[in-house]
Amino acid sequence: QVQLQQSGAELMKPGASVKISCKATGYTFNSYWIEWVKQRPGHGLEWIGEILPGSGSTNYNEKFKGKATFTADTSSNTAYMQLSSLTSEDSVVYYCVRRGITGLDYFDYWGQGTTLTVSS
């Protein structure tokens, strides 16, 4: 069955960078877009962007350009999101998500979420 397993909670200092991982199992990793979504309490869900592992193609929400960088390792079926210049505004939960292949642009499987805390 399709599963996305994210890395554990992180505690980082302001100004640092962090890399969150998302290991995919149960499907052909190269063929599906991996999405990254941010959830702030009281602010709902926000789309950060996406990567297609097979080609390395990416799309970013303009709001997160310069903040987030996506990569993928097809040998280990793992996607990564690096967040740079961390501030308290980055202290939220991040999800990796698989986008369905049919062109209807829905997110059919979600990781369990990774909590990032930025504090000095």
Partner 1 sequence: DIQMTQTTSSLSASLGDRVTISCRTSQDISNYLNWYQQKPDGTVKLLIYYTSRLHSGVPSRFSGSGSGTDYSLTISNLEQEDIATYFCQQGNTLPFTFGSGTKLEIK
Cα(76)–Cα(60) distance, integer angstroms: 23
Asked if 35 is part of the footprint of partner 1 (rule: CB under 8 A), the reply reads: yes
Least distance (Å) from partner 1 to the CB of residue 44? Answer: 4
Least distance (Å) from partner 1 to the CB of residue 60? Answer: 9
Where is 94: in which H helix or E strand?
A: strand 93-99
Least Cα distance to 78 among 25, 42, 36 occurs for 25
Count, residues near partner 1 per rule CB under 8 A: 24
Q: For 100, which DSSP code?
A: P
Cα(55)–Cα(110) distance, integer angstroms: 21
Neighbours of 38 (CB within 10 A): 22
Asked if 71 is part of the footprint of partner 1 (rule: CB under 8 A), the reply reads: no
Residues 88-117 that bind partner 1 (CB under 8 A): 93, 95, 97, 100, 104-110, 112-113
Asked if 27 is part of the footprint of partner 1 (rule: CB under 8 A), the reply reads: no
User: Which residues here bind partner 1, judged by CB under 8 A?
Assistant: 35, 43-47, 49, 59, 61-63, 93, 95, 97, 100, 104-110, 112-113
